Chain A
């Protein structure tokens, strides 16, 4: 783990040197990346294939009004102006957000970015009556933007967007809505399939070739509006390679320069062979979501705490060759919202046994629980060996875990339905990895009004004090007050543990030594503009 972090730090230093060197990377070469996606993510400006699609065929090509700041490896990625230079909440109406758009921005097809383009894109995703409505893109965008209600053009360079209710975290939601070129859509015959073959956004890279299921080729957009982020690379080639051993072989045979998620057991060999393995914390947790309703063994907070003490997180991280970090809460330690929880979970089997005894469990009355786990899936890491490891940990303190092993699609259905309903197969917990990239997730996962199937408080945990705390700041625009409430809320969640906090994925990627300038941001997304290939 330490080695990996040192490498991440070394790469970050290299990036700083590259920035200072400036012209050193005029001929940046072509970076060839093997993604974990099974297919080329859609290139219409709203990629499928989850956040990996957004990482490689979203943000590098299309931009949002508010963008991620991916320039630093040492802090969680925050937000920065994107296609909007500034934004503010209307003082007279806290549901109305005013965005002042950047001037002088052109799309890859040469057309101009302005308020009409923003309105057109909002219609694309949210107005089914429009000819340019995009069903597939809309499905993904609407899922990530549940707050958006309406919009209006104020002038050529200003738009207003209204939300269903006041929410200070709206910038963390609107950053998933990407802007595509209306002119290019019309030029290719007003068809999203045709647009996917020749898309145009405003990002630092433009798509030059799409070969379905094989590859996508990007080239540097020389007219990019931000000279500080004009790519050093001449281009990027992206290949979908879902099979980890295939990605590994492609890297080691020199077919690609960079692979996402190398197999953990291959990492020592890669490092020994001179490849860089880069990891960093990012907002991704691999937990058990517990059913805390009456009748479940996890209804008792002492049992939930005992289970948390039973897990040998360090051992699990070692099993994964340092590609995961122990979790002690929804957010990782060191995160601004982690706080100082009253309970800190380490590997303490004796304490786990004592808590179980208090709750009425022991050698004569072992606790039995059923957990839904998947064979694979987006962000699920290595679910089978990891769960077997946890099963052993639990057995050591007297908790007998039984697994319902399902396919990823089946798990998603279970996750969207309340415990006890048929799709959940009567399990007491579900092992689904989740995003934790902004504070809105505290609402989504833990507020009682979001109990499944309404939203994602799957286990129906309810704490009136916690709910009141979140309610008190949902419409609060004083960031200091929000931050204080978030810290307190996180401390409460950790103490009552509606989830088993197991590990945070460290987002490993391996690259050849010729890849320079990469900064591993603490984010699901990464900035390729500072990268170059050294000959």
Chain B
């Protein structure tokens, strides 16, 4: 098992290095630079040149890349060009805010997804299967942006039950009143993982149900609930892989959902950095999100290997 984990960790290094090069290259390809957006439209050319030099954007690209990579490896993510604040501080705050959304959204989405998927599979071909599948497909298909606005119109503007936007607390909610601001974004965010997981669980459970050992279990007199547990355990590796990917997406923050709900998370930060061409924030955010994505999938790989020893071989 340890060899397996070590091998997976080593695989992560070239992936992250590749991501860093890709991110740096793509950022350089975007037209315009942060100085153009930092300065008012009427800024004279000599000032633009001066500021470009002051922030080091006049240096050759490879020098800029290795300088950035060296500092990043030492944990120095630099400073935001627009706010002057350390990028690490901004990023940690944003990731924390996204985490507060991602965890409940993942729990809700996965629980509903597994439940709906299993329900549909065990009642294949019935109206329960059709209803559960329709619900799952609707969750995946609905545009988040639109669904979020509909929720706001109903629950905030019309009924005035829940806040329309904003986080309303710092760190973690300290009371039910503060937690109210989580409800609408969490429900919105949970839709896609719910739908995707439900579809995968349904397909996997159906596949497992058709295997011979299930017939053997039934022949041995196991009741449905006991059979279900065996089936779900066998379906778990495939579902876990999808959940890992989905949780990675959630940790990256949804730019659209965070924009509609004005949630100061990582999606919001990345969106802001892209529009401002705030290169240090953009590069650091993407690399750190990629790191989390790799980490989550690494953990999923390990969990799969723990559940199913065949994967270790």
> B120-153 CB contact bits vs A (8 Å, 1 = yes)?
0000000000000000000000000000010011
Q: Which residue of A lies closest to B272 (CB)?
A: A38
Chain B residue, CB-CB nearest to A40:
B83
Minimum CB–CB distance from A391 to chain B (whole Å) comes to: 24
Pair B42/A444 contact, Cβ less than 8 Å: yes
Beta-carbon contacts under 8 Å, A431-456 to B: 432, 434-435, 444, 453-456
Q: How far is the CA of A453 from the CA of B272 in the complex (A)?
A: 28
A139–B164 contact, CB under 8 A?
Answer: no
Complex: how many Å from CA A214 to CA B83? 13
CB pair A48–B82 under 8 Å, yes or no, is: yes
Verify if A252 is at the interface (C-beta below 8 Å from B). yes
The answer to the question of B109 belonging to the interface, with a C-beta cut-off of 8 Å to chain A, is no
A143 touches B43 (CB 8 A): yes
Query: Which residues of A (231-265) have their CB < 8 Å from a CB of B?
Result: 239-243, 245-246, 249-250, 252-255
The CA of A380 and the CA of B171, in the complex, are separated in Å by 36
| B82 CB contact (under 8 Å) in A136, A241, A454 | A136
Of the candidates B37, B90, B261, B262, the one having the most CB atoms from chain A within 10 angstroms of its own CB is B262
A243-B260, A245-B260 given; A432·B37 CB < 8 A: no
B211 at the interface (CB under 8 A from A): no
Q: A252-B157, A455-B44 are in contact. Are A246 and B36 (CB under 8 A)?
A: no
Contacting pair B38 A136 (CB below 8 A): yes
> Are A192 and B32 touching (Cβ within 8 A)?
no
Q: Is B39 an interface residue (CB 8 A)?
A: yes
- Taking a contact as CB atoms under 8 Å apart, the answer to whether A249 and B164 are in contact is yes
Task: Determine which of A39, A246, A444 lies in contact with B272 in the assembled complex, contact meaning CB atoms within 8 Å.
Answer: A39
| CB of B275 within 8 Å of the partner chain | yes
Q: Is the CB of B153 within 8 A of A249?
A: yes
Asked if A196 CB lies within 8 Å of chain B CBs, one says yes
Q: Which residues in window 209-247 of A have CB below 8 A to B? A: 211-214, 239-243, 245-246
Given contacts A136-B38, A140-B39, contact A212 B47 (CB under 8 A): no
A246–B165 CB distance below 8 A: yes
Residue among A143, A193, A253 making CB contact with B44, cutoff 8 Å = A143
Complex interface: chain A residues within 8 A of B271 (CB): 38
Q: Nearest Cβ in chain B — how far from A254, in angstroms?
A: 7
- Which residue from chain B places its CB closest to the CB of A243 in the assembled complex? B259
CA distance A239 to B163 in the complex (A): 14
CB distance from A134 to the nearest CB of B (A): 8
Tell me if B221 is interfacial: C-beta within 8 Å of chain A.
Answer: no
| CB atoms of A140 and B164 under 8 A apart | no
Among B42, B90, B156, the residue within 8 A (CB) of A144 is B42
Chain B residues 219-274 with CB under 8 Å of chain A are 259-262, 264, 268-269, 271-272
Complexed CA–CA distance, A534 and B33 (Å): 46
Contact A139 B264 (CB under 8 A): no
Interface contacts beyond A245-B260, A249-B165, A254-B160: sample of 4 additional A-B pairs, CB < 8 Å, sorted by A: A42-B82, A42-B83, A408-B37, A416-B45
8 smallest beta-carbon distances between A and B, as pairs: A409-B32, A143-B43, A249-B164, A253-B156, A213-B264, A253-B164, A410-B31, A252-B157
Pull 6 A–B residue pairs with CB atoms less than 8 Å apart, ordered by A.
Answer: A196-B84, A213-B94, A245-B149, A249-B156, A250-B165, A250-B166
> Which A residues are closer than 8 A to B by beta carbons?
38-39, 42, 44, 48, 50, 135-136, 139-140, 142-144, 146, 192-193, 196, 211-214, 239-243, 245-246, 249-250, 252-255, 406-410, 412-413, 415-416, 423, 432, 434-435, 444, 453-456
